[in-house]
């Protein structure tokens, strides 16, 4: 009788647990997700703009796989534990050498057929622009030869769906607890998750990052922020 490999069983279990936990978060915050487009199958990278603490749960239903996130997230109350327990790969961007190990982990995950999603802005934005991208993690796609699917996140204002929700972004001098209280105060949170056409990489990770960034900005109809510090 055919049996799954222990690692595959563990990965499937981790993905199922991840989906269950994140669906509970969607319920708690009354987060209504509208998916547009189709996520790629297993064994690819996806790159998204980054708005706030609900980004990973918002994408978890359609994106069953690994996330790459900044190390500080693991310290967030409750939500950090859930994100960490889902097998998230954490990166400390202040350490230049940290990205080398993270790229290797991403490549191994891709080779085993897993999806890996990351936030190349490296920080959050109010949703009215796309910040400059850190390019180092795009090396995983170039070296593995797998496509990168751009993902555009947009949290809608409840009164005007064409405007961004100002309560959701985790920006400025807010701490995570204050941001979570602001989210709890919202009667409902609506987010559009747009899965865009995948981009086949060449050998230039910077060119690939520029293509992905432009696709996300174009889908959202927002400008590119050019004054962020380069990598």
Summarize pLDDT for 105-114 with one digit per residue, the tens.
Answer: 999 989 988 8
Query: C-alpha angle with apex 18: 196 to 123, nearest 5 degrees?
Result: 55
Mean pLDDT to the nearest integer, 222-227: 84
Residue 9 lies in a domain: no
H or E stretch covering 154: strand 148-156
CATH number of 161's domain: 3.90.190
Does the pLDDT at position 2 exceed 60? no
Mean pLDDT to the nearest integer, 68-72: 82
Confidence of residue 9 (pLDDT cuts 50, 70, 90): low
Domain range enclosing 108: 29-220
Dist. CA 141–CA 143, nearest whole Å: 6
Summarize pLDDT for 148-195 with one digit per residue, the tens.
Answer: 999 999 999 999 999 999 999 998 888 888 898 999 999 999 999 999
Residue 22 lies in a domain: no
Q: Which residue has the tokens 């607890």?
A: 177
Residue 229 lies in a domain: no
Does the pLDDT at position 13 exceed 90? no
| pTM, two decimal places | 0.87
Residue 7 lies in a domain: no
Total structural domains in the chain?
1
Query: C-alpha angle with apex 143: 139 to 144, nearest 5 degrees?
Result: 115
Does the pLDDT at position 136 exceed 90? yes
Question: Contact 116/68 with Cβ under 8 angstroms?
Answer: yes
Confidence of residue 59 (pLDDT cuts 50, 70, 90): confident
Residue 138 lies in a domain: yes
Summarize pLDDT for 25-50 with one digit per residue, the tens.
Answer: 889 999 999 999 998 887 899 999 99
Residue 231 lies in a domain: no
Mean pLDDT to the nearest integer, 73-101: 75
Does the pLDDT at position 126 exceed 50? yes
Residue 23 lies in a domain: no
């Amino acid at each position: 009788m055919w049996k799954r490999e222990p690692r595959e069983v563990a990965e499937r279990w981790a993905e199922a647990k991840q989906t269950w936990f994140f669906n509970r978060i969607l319920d708690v915050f009354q987060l209504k997700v509208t998916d547009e487009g189709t996520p790629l199958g297993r064994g690819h990278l996806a790159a998204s703009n980054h708005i706030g603490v609900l980004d990973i749960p918002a994408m978890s239903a359609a994106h069953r796989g690994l996330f790459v996130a900044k190390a500080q997230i693991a310290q967030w109350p409750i939500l950090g534990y859930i994100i960490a327990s889902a097998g998230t790969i954490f990166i400390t961007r202040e350490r230049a050498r940290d990205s080398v190990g993270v790229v290797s982990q991403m490549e191994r995950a891709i080779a085993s057929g897993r999806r890996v999603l990351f936030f190349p802005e490296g920080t959050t934005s109010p949703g009215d622009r796309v910040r400059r991208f850190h390019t180092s993690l795009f090396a995983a796609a170039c070296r593995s030869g797998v496509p990168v699917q751009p993902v555009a996140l947009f949290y809608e204002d409840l009164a005007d769906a064409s405007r961004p929700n100002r309560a959701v972004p985790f920006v400025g001098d807010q701490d995570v607890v204050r941001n979570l209280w602001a989210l709890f105060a919202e009667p409902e949170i609506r987010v559009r998750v747009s899965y865009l056409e995948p981009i086949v990489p060449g050998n230039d990770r910077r060119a690939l990052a520029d293509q992905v960034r432009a696709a996300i900005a174009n889908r959202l109809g927002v400008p590119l922020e050019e004054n962020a510090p380069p990598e």
